[in-house]
Amino acid sequence: MASYNVTLKSDVKLGTFYWVTTVNADSEEEAVTAAEHKFLEQLGSEAEWDFTDYDAEKL
């Protein structure tokens, strides 16, 4: 089993959302599935969302 750093990207109604997490898995496909499950677990938690970093570029 290896450690994978996974970035999931979703284009949502008002922008783009990225979820970045580290998981242990036997393959890249299993790593993506594990990251998706972690994301769904996070959404279901009572934890308050708090953005701790940002990047802003003037257009």
Question: What's the chain's average pLDDT?
Answer: 90
C-alpha angle with apex 47: 46 to 52, nearest 5 degrees?
A: 160
Tell me phi and psi for residue 17, to 5 degrees: -115, 130
Q: What pLDDT is recorded for position 32?
A: 96
Q: What pLDDT is recorded for position 52?
A: 83
Give the predicted TM-score (pTM) of the model: 0.80
